[in-house]
Structure 1
Protein backbone atom coordinates (compact mmCIF):
# COMPACT_ATOMS: atom_id res chain seq x y z
CA UNK A 1 0.00 0.00 0.00
CA UNK A 2 1.48 3.32 -1.05
CA UNK A 3 0.64 6.43 0.95
CA UNK A 4 0.66 9.85 -0.68
CA UNK A 5 -0.46 11.94 2.29
CA UNK A 6 -0.88 11.53 6.01
CA UNK A 7 -4.29 12.10 7.55
CA UNK A 8 -4.90 11.40 11.23
CA UNK A 9 -8.49 10.28 11.68
CA UNK A 10 -10.49 10.58 14.88
CA UNK A 11 -14.08 10.04 15.94
CA UNK A 12 -14.93 13.65 15.07
CA UNK A 13 -13.95 13.34 11.38
CA UNK A 14 -16.71 13.18 8.79
CA UNK A 15 -16.44 11.02 5.68
CA UNK A 16 -17.04 13.24 2.63
CA UNK A 17 -16.19 11.26 -0.51
CA UNK A 18 -14.70 7.99 -1.75
CA UNK A 19 -13.36 7.55 -5.27
CA UNK A 20 -11.46 4.70 -6.87
CA UNK A 21 -10.10 3.73 -10.25
CA UNK A 22 -8.54 0.62 -11.69
CA UNK A 23 -5.18 0.93 -13.41
CA UNK A 24 -2.24 -1.05 -14.71
CA UNK A 25 1.15 -0.49 -13.11
CA UNK A 26 3.95 0.67 -15.40
CA UNK A 27 6.39 0.32 -12.49
CA UNK A 28 5.85 -0.65 -8.88
CA UNK A 29 8.02 -1.57 -5.88
CA UNK A 30 5.65 -4.26 -4.61
CA UNK A 31 4.29 -5.55 -7.94
CA UNK A 32 5.70 -8.78 -9.34
CA UNK A 33 5.49 -7.65 -12.97
CA UNK A 34 4.60 -4.73 -15.16
CA UNK A 35 1.00 -4.34 -16.28
CA UNK A 36 -0.08 -5.55 -12.85
CA UNK A 37 -3.60 -4.29 -12.01
CA UNK A 38 -4.02 -1.99 -9.03
CA UNK A 39 -6.75 0.14 -7.49
CA UNK A 40 -6.10 3.82 -6.72
CA UNK A 41 -8.29 5.10 -3.86
CA UNK A 42 -8.95 8.70 -2.82
CA UNK A 43 -10.78 9.47 0.42
CA UNK A 44 -11.98 12.92 1.47
CA UNK A 45 -12.57 13.54 5.17
CA UNK A 46 -13.67 16.73 6.95
CA UNK A 47 -12.16 17.43 10.35
CA UNK A 48 -14.06 18.99 13.28
CA UNK A 49 -13.52 22.49 11.81
CA UNK A 50 -14.94 21.45 8.43
CA UNK A 51 -11.60 21.49 6.62
CA UNK A 52 -11.55 18.72 4.00
CA UNK A 53 -8.39 16.66 3.70
CA UNK A 54 -7.59 14.07 1.07
CA UNK A 55 -5.99 10.68 1.67
CA UNK A 56 -4.93 8.68 -1.36
CA UNK A 57 -3.27 5.30 -1.69
CA UNK A 58 -2.93 2.34 -4.04
CA UNK A 59 -3.81 -1.30 -3.40
CA UNK A 60 -3.49 -4.54 -5.30
CA UNK A 61 -6.79 -6.02 -6.45
CA UNK A 62 -6.76 -8.66 -3.65
CA UNK A 63 -6.10 -5.90 -1.07
CA UNK A 64 -9.03 -3.90 -2.47
CA UNK A 65 -11.27 -6.98 -2.35
CA UNK A 66 -10.36 -7.43 1.33
CA UNK A 67 -11.01 -3.69 1.94
CA UNK A 68 -14.46 -4.10 0.33
CA UNK A 69 -15.21 -7.20 2.42
CA UNK A 70 -14.30 -5.34 5.62
CA UNK A 71 -16.61 -2.43 4.73
CA UNK A 72 -19.45 -4.89 4.12
CA UNK A 73 -18.80 -6.42 7.55
CA UNK A 74 -18.88 -2.94 9.12
CA UNK A 75 -22.17 -2.15 7.35
CA UNK A 76 -23.70 -5.43 8.56
CA UNK A 77 -22.60 -4.73 12.15
CA UNK A 78 -24.09 -1.23 12.02
CA UNK A 79 -27.38 -2.51 10.60
CA UNK A 80 -27.56 -5.08 13.41
CA UNK A 81 -27.39 -2.35 16.09
Structure 2
Protein backbone atom coordinates (compact mmCIF):
# COMPACT_ATOMS: atom_id res chain seq x y z
CA UNK A 1 0.00 0.00 0.00
CA UNK A 2 1.51 3.32 -1.04
CA UNK A 3 2.27 5.85 1.68
CA UNK A 4 2.30 3.34 4.53
CA UNK A 5 5.06 1.10 5.77
CA UNK A 6 5.60 -1.25 8.66
CA UNK A 7 7.98 0.15 11.29
CA UNK A 8 11.47 -1.39 11.41
CA UNK A 9 11.25 -1.81 15.19
CA UNK A 10 8.66 -1.04 17.82
CA UNK A 11 8.92 -0.99 21.59
CA UNK A 12 7.99 -4.67 21.91
CA UNK A 13 10.40 -6.01 19.25
CA UNK A 14 13.63 -7.72 20.22
CA UNK A 15 16.80 -7.26 18.18
CA UNK A 16 18.22 -10.67 17.19
CA UNK A 17 20.97 -9.69 14.73
CA UNK A 18 22.52 -6.50 13.35
CA UNK A 19 24.70 -6.50 10.24
CA UNK A 20 26.03 -3.68 8.14
CA UNK A 21 28.15 -3.11 5.08
CA UNK A 22 29.65 -0.14 3.32
CA UNK A 23 28.72 0.12 -0.34
CA UNK A 24 28.94 2.39 -3.32
CA UNK A 25 26.53 2.48 -6.22
CA UNK A 26 28.36 2.72 -9.52
CA UNK A 27 25.56 2.41 -12.07
CA UNK A 28 21.81 2.76 -12.21
CA UNK A 29 19.11 3.40 -14.79
CA UNK A 30 17.08 5.58 -12.44
CA UNK A 31 19.52 7.29 -10.05
CA UNK A 32 21.57 10.39 -10.84
CA UNK A 33 23.62 10.55 -7.62
CA UNK A 34 26.05 7.69 -8.05
CA UNK A 35 29.56 7.08 -6.75
CA UNK A 36 28.51 8.12 -3.26
CA UNK A 37 29.14 5.68 -0.41
CA UNK A 38 26.27 4.41 1.73
CA UNK A 39 25.83 2.11 4.71
CA UNK A 40 23.41 -0.79 4.28
CA UNK A 41 21.95 -2.10 7.55
CA UNK A 42 20.28 -5.50 7.90
CA UNK A 43 18.32 -6.27 11.07
CA UNK A 44 16.64 -9.42 12.33
CA UNK A 45 13.97 -8.70 14.91
CA UNK A 46 11.57 -10.87 16.86
CA UNK A 47 8.05 -9.56 17.28
CA UNK A 48 5.94 -10.20 20.41
CA UNK A 49 4.47 -13.33 18.79
CA UNK A 50 7.95 -14.81 18.39
CA UNK A 51 8.17 -14.39 14.62
CA UNK A 52 11.59 -13.36 13.33
CA UNK A 53 11.49 -10.76 10.58
CA UNK A 54 14.29 -9.27 8.51
CA UNK A 55 14.44 -5.54 7.87
CA UNK A 56 16.94 -3.56 5.83
CA UNK A 57 17.60 0.08 5.07
CA UNK A 58 20.33 2.29 3.68
CA UNK A 59 21.86 5.47 5.10
CA UNK A 60 24.07 8.11 3.58
CA UNK A 61 27.40 8.64 5.34
CA UNK A 62 26.13 11.82 7.10
CA UNK A 63 23.01 9.91 8.25
CA UNK A 64 25.18 7.07 9.54
CA UNK A 65 27.48 9.51 11.37
CA UNK A 66 24.44 11.03 13.10
CA UNK A 67 23.18 7.51 13.96
CA UNK A 68 26.61 6.70 15.43
CA UNK A 69 26.70 9.90 17.52
CA UNK A 70 23.26 9.12 18.94
CA UNK A 71 24.34 5.60 19.93
CA UNK A 72 27.44 7.01 21.64
CA UNK A 73 25.16 9.34 23.62
CA UNK A 74 22.94 6.40 24.58
CA UNK A 75 26.00 4.39 25.72
CA UNK A 76 27.20 7.32 27.83
CA UNK A 77 23.82 7.58 29.56
CA UNK A 78 23.65 3.82 30.16
CA UNK A 79 27.08 3.92 31.84
CA UNK A 80 25.75 6.40 34.42
CA UNK A 81 22.87 4.13 35.42
**Runs ≥4 residues deviating over 6 A:** none
Q: Which runs of 5+ in 1 are unaligned?
A: none
* TM-score, with structure 1 as normaliser: 0.75
Query: Residue 75 of structure 2: SS of its match in structure 1?
Result: helix
Structure having the higher Rg: 2
Instruction: Point out the structure with the larger strand share.
Output: 1
Cα root mean square deviation, aligned: 2.1
Q: Which runs of 5+ in 2 are unaligned?
A: none
* TM-score, with structure 2 as normaliser: 0.75
Aligned positions, number: 75
